Amino acid sequence: MKKITKKIISIFLLVFTTITVFSALDVNAYTTQDVLYQDDNYQFWVAIYNRANTHMVASPESMIRRSSDNKPVYCIQAPLQFNNGSNVNGIIDTNTMVSMLGLSSEQIEKLKLIAYYGYGYGSHTSPEWYYATQLLIWSNVTPGYVYAIEDGDYSLTPSSKYDSYYNEINSLVDNHSTAPSFARQTFEMKNGEILTISDTNNVLSKFYNGVDNENYKAEIENNNLIVTAKKGYVGQINLSVKTNDNPPMLYEGANQMCMSAGDPVMMMAKLNIIIKTHFEGYKVYGDESAGTYTPEKGAEFEVYNNLTNELITTLITNEDGIIEYDFENGTYRIHQTKGKKGYKLIDDYILNVDGNNTLEKVYFQNNIIKGTLEFTKTDISESKTLPNTLVEIYNADTEKKIYSEKTNEEGKLIIKNIKYGKYYIIEKEAPEGYQLNTEKMYFEIKKDGEIIKATMKDEIIKGILEFTKTDISESETLPNTLIEIYSVDTDELVYSEKTDEEGKIIIKDIEYGKYYIIEKEAPEGYQLNTEKMYFEIKENGQIIKATMKDEKIVEIPDTSKKEFPILETVALIISVSGLGILLYAKKKNKK
């Protein structure tokens, strides 16, 4: 490009038109002056049309830099000669660039992104990234006018050595996002809570400002947005864009247009935020006269929008008698639907949530149901009331006496505040002249309610057996001994295994009970131990250590070999003895 000297009318007209456009621009469009120069330490070869636009030629191209900070710039118009060391004027206004280059604003924005994601972006630091970026810009402005070749290749064979660079830059351009990854998403949080949101597009800290108002504080640390909720709120967080201190610059004055890489234009980032107020309701039941209350598990509440009567949610108390929910600002009606049997349900509770509190806490009390007994004692005809009759009242479930009193002069008793339940009345002392009525008179103070059923689970006691098999001297452990463990109570086999190389077996999680160990197969060279070894698991985590001993097998001599004629000797002795007795008897008879 720099070494081609021919001029043709078409290029002259192009230059003339460009100069005419420049002269028509407002001088205020220029924002800076600089000097552009060739850095011949970085060169790459291209095939490019000659100035006559008649055929392609091989040409070495150099990196272009600006003198103010030595940062690279890129030539825009491939066919035009770059004048080394030129004083140039720079502009940043996109509309002015459109007028000067004759390109659409979309084309110019793409050139800016190619320059941004090309050389110098992230790990794109090798010279090849500059060469690929320059070639991509040319191919977008003047397709077909230039392409890469190997160094000094005058055969103009196209080279693919920059293809991977092109692909990565184009991918970054195509997937360019002008907003953080979380933009337009919705996030929920509680009043007083701190929420950290990460930006995977990595543009947050570089291009955006945080915001602080009465509802929330949104701070930016690295590429994380840290939101602190100040009060209940439903709306948006709007992140404004920082002033662009490094915009892309278009330079005029080096016989052609050049562009520097700069930060892209970003749009305001918005995300939806819902800040709710945490509510805790503490549900207890008890006797208001005694002033003692107990947390209740399983009580049920329905929550309604108090304006629309819409059911919002149903809440059930946990083991501590607590219900929890996160409310948006508004007015709600809490209606109890279930509670402990025998206790009054609460009246509907109106909850106003204005978002000013981090926690709304309410206590709900269910007081025990109570009633009144009006008792009258009369004769059999009911024409006469009987005073001074001693009666007692018992709880039908517990047989506990709760009341004892005599009827008044009118034969009556009025008993207030009798707690929920079943009772019976018995007559303890009849009035004078009357028989004692021994029948029980039942009555009930009741109101429908929930019956609470509770299930308690216990884990069975388990222990560990550390079993060791040794010889009778205990000096040697015996591996490969098959043992079995049986339950003493059921004689059921619960375990069967051979000892390891150290003559041991460690058995975990043996359940509570009595067991015995028997040896099923003795190791080679040892006698089978037929005794039962008993042990018992009585405490959780108990470790039982048991050692079973085997005796070695002793070789017994072969009795079939007649080293001594024992049987023959015995027989001879018996025979001789018998003969002696006979001879003695004959001699005695002769006498």
The answer to whether 226 and 239 have CB atoms below 8 angstroms apart is no
Q: At what angle do helices 105-117 and 163-174 cross, to 10 degrees?
A: 120
Q: Which two tokens stand for residue 305?
A: 């929008």
Q: What's the pLDDT score for residue 339?
A: 92
Q: What's the pLDDT score for residue 6?
A: 34
Q: At what angle do helices 105-117 and 127-141 cross, to 10 degrees?
A: 170
Helix H, strand E, coil C: the string for 253-312 is: CCCCCEEECCCCCCCCEEEEEEEEEEEEEEEEEEECCCCEEEECCCCEEEEEECCCCCEE
Contacts of residue 590, defined as CB under 8 A and 6 or more positions apart, other chains included, come to none
The answer to whether 80 and 11 have CB atoms below 8 angstroms apart is yes
**Cα 497 to Cα 514: distance, rounded to the nearest angstrom:** 19
Burial profile 114-137: b = 16 or more Cβ within 10 angstroms, e = fewer: bbbbbbebeebeeebbbbbbbbbb
Q: What's the pLDDT score for residue 582?
A: 55
Q: What's the pLDDT score for residue 27?
A: 37
Q: What's the pLDDT score for residue 431?
A: 75
DSSP 552: B
Q: Report the sign of the C-alpha dihedral through residues 85, 86, 89, 92, in that order.
A: negative
Class for the domain spanning 370-445: mainly beta
Kindly report the backbone phi and psi dihedral angles of residue 55, in degrees, each rounded to the nearest multiple of 5, phi listed first. Answer: -160, 165
- Per-position DSSP letters for 376-406, written without gaps between them: E-B-TTSSSB--S-EEEEEETTT--EEEEEE
For domain 274-367, say whether CATH 3.40.50.10240 is its number: no
**Cα 189 to Cα 199: distance, rounded to the nearest angstrom:** 18
Q: Do domains 370-445 and 462-550 have the same CATH topology?
A: yes
In the chain, the N- to C-terminal Cα span, in Å, equals 167
Instruction: Spell out the domain ranges in the chain.
Output: 9-174, 274-367, 370-445, 462-550
**Cα 274 to Cα 327: distance, rounded to the nearest angstrom:** 10
The answer to whether 479 and 517 have CB atoms below 8 angstroms apart is no
Q: What's the pLDDT score for residue 22?
A: 35
Q: What's the pLDDT score for residue 132?
A: 96
pLDDT in single tens digits along all 591 residues of the chain: 433 333 333 333 333 333 333 333 343 445 789 999 999 999 999 998 876 667 889 999 999 999 999 999 999 988 788 999 999 999 988 888 888 888 998 999 999 999 999 999 989 999 999 999 999 999 999 888 899 999 999 999 999 999 999 999 999 998 887 789 999 999 999 999 999 999 998 888 888 889 999 999 999 998 999 999 999 999 999 988 888 888 899 999 989 899 999 888 777 889 999 999 999 999 999 988 878 899 999 999 999 999 999 999 999 999 999 999 999 999 999 999 999 989 999 999 999 999 898 889 999 999 888 888 888 877 776 677 778 889 898 999 999 998 898 888 888 888 888 888 888 988 888 777 666 778 888 888 876 332 323 222 334 567 899 999 999 887 789 999 999 999 999 999 999 999 999 999 999 988 778 999 999 998 988 889 989 999 998 877 889 998 889 888 876 665 554 444 544 544 555 555 555 555 555 555 544
Q: Which CATH architecture has domain 462-550?
A: Sandwich (2.60)
Question: For residue 331, which of 311, 359, 350, 358 has the smallest C-alpha distance?
Answer: 350
Q: What's the pLDDT score for residue 560?
A: 53
Apex CA 269: angle with CA 196 and CA 272, to 5°?
Answer: 60
